[in-house]
Amino acid sequence: MKSVIPSILATVSLIIAGNSLAADMPAAGKVKCGSCHAIAKKVIGPSYMDISAKYKNDKDAASKIAASVTNGGAFGWKMGKMPPKGLGADDAEIKSMSEYIAGLAK
Ligand code: HEC
């Protein structure tokens, strides 16, 4: 029983961290991804909320999303193909966007 309380606290702080990530999308997201993606609706690509739901409960969500963004291509959404790195995002921008997307569904 002793270990339960710290793990509850850890979960709560993860939820808080997730929410603060959700509040501000990295600036690169609007410029380099925003012509094809929006937070809550499909545009040319799937919404970030839908992508986040796909990776919900996956502890490697952020790194898997980052790999998809870096490589581009088709991921089963049947919406066509995504260009590798979107519109020229660098690795740091891809990392911050991937963490942001992964945090939406938590
Ligand atoms: C020219 C349009 C376009 C741009 C720009 C673009 N995407 Fe995409 N993206 C797509 C399409 C289309 C898909 C869906 C492909 C499919 O049908 O599987 C997609 C899918 C995705 C996925 C789903 C990956 C998965 O594993 O399911 C993620 C994450 C994503 N995009 C993130 C981004 C990010 C972050 C950026 C900016 C750095 C970006 N996209 C820029 C068109 C775009």
pLDDT of residue 24: 82
Ligand 1 pocket, 25 CB below 6 A?
A: no
For ligand 1, whether the C-beta of 46 sits within 6 Å is: yes
- Does the pTM exceed 0.95? no
Find the largest Cα–Cα distance for the chain.
51
pLDDT at 23 over 70: no
Is the distance from the beta carbon of residue 45 to the nearest atom of ligand 1 less than 6 Å? Answer: yes
pLDDT digits (tens, 9 = 90+) for 57-89: 999 999 999 999 999 999 999 999 999 999 999
Instruction: Give 11 Cα–ligand 1 centroid separation in angstroms.
Output: 29
61 in contact with ligand 1, CB cutoff 6 A:
no
| Nearest Cα to Cα of residue 59 among 8, 4, 14 | 14
Domain count, the chain: 1
For the cut 90, the answer to whether the pLDDT of residue 18 exceeds it is no
The CATH number of residue 32's host domain is: 1.10.760.10
| Domain enclosing residue 89, as ranges | 4-104
